[in-house]
Amino acid sequence: MQRQPEGSLGCKVVIITGASRGVGKQAALDFARRGAHVVLAARTVTHDVSNELPGSLDETVRQIENMGAKVLAVPTDLACEDDLSALVATTINHFGGVDVLINNAAATAGDIWSKRFLELTRADWLYQFAVNVHAPFTLMQRVVPHMEKRGGGRIINLTTGSGEVFRLPEEPVKRQSVGSFSLDVPGYYASKRALDRLGNAVAPELSRRNVAVITMHPGLVSTEVVAIRVKNAGLDDSVAVPMTVPARMLVYFASCENPMEYTGRLFWAEREMADMGIELE
């Protein structure tokens, strides 16, 4: 892969789901620094002291406003279709269009993560697919007509580790754990793999509307959720990359000169960043 020149993101309208914390929040800050108009979607509007996780939409908004950038927060339950429709409609009413959609949010909180296959209820399974696959599907359908009216756009879906991203001749056997840190999360991994295939499958159709669909694996990232789980499991977190790494690659894919080179494909943030010599800002 050759690094492409990056264009301006000034006044581009960017929707980011899961923007109250983690990679979504970091990406929102990075896009704002580039002059983009940022739309933040998440459920956590204000910080609740009973919640072990830091971060909220209000906090992200304050940080972006302090930069002098334009920002809009839209409280959104990704499992609710009406909320998804309202997210796009509110964005259009406020900013007049949308240029970039980043499907970052995922169902990773609560006890679903610790449940094995036979312990999962059907409701658990459906919820993970609702947030991890159906929400991106719905948002993609809602934003594409608006992107097309503006001459095109970009959709970037965040996935997780899978065989395809590592480009091996055969799919590796799925690991059950790293030390005592369980990777037995079938609903999460199955739904994310479905998201990989969704982006790949719709890319040819959307390319005719000048909309690129790029899927990116952020790697093991030092998010708030990961930090808590690693600490509780007593693991070494030195291999985790900072949130600035996947956030920087999201900015790259959103601003690169020719996104159609990447459409329908799956990338790994840390590897591509190193291979193309992209620096943190």
What stretches of 57-185 show up as alpha helix (H) in DSSP? Answer: 57-67, 81-95, 122-129, 135-149
pLDDT in tens, 65-112: 999 999 999 999 999 999 999 999 999 999 999 999 999 999 887 788
Residue 75 is encoded by which pair of tokens? Answer: 């409280």
pTM summary value: 0.92
pLDDT score recorded for residue 170: 72
pLDDT tens-digit profile of 158-201? 998 776 777 777 766 776 665 555 667 888 889 999 999 999 99
- What is the pLDDT at residue 141? 98
The number of C-alpha atoms within 13 Å of 243 and in the hemisphere containing its C-beta is 18
Instruction: Please state the domain extents for the chain.
Output: 13-275
pLDDT value at position 135?
98
Where does the chain show beta strands of DSSP type E?
A: 13-17, 37-42, 71-75, 100-103, 153-158, 177-178, 181-182, 211-217, 266-268
Domain spanning 13-275 has what CATH number? 3.40.50.720
Q: Place 227 in a pLDDT band, splitting at 50, 70 and 90.
A: low
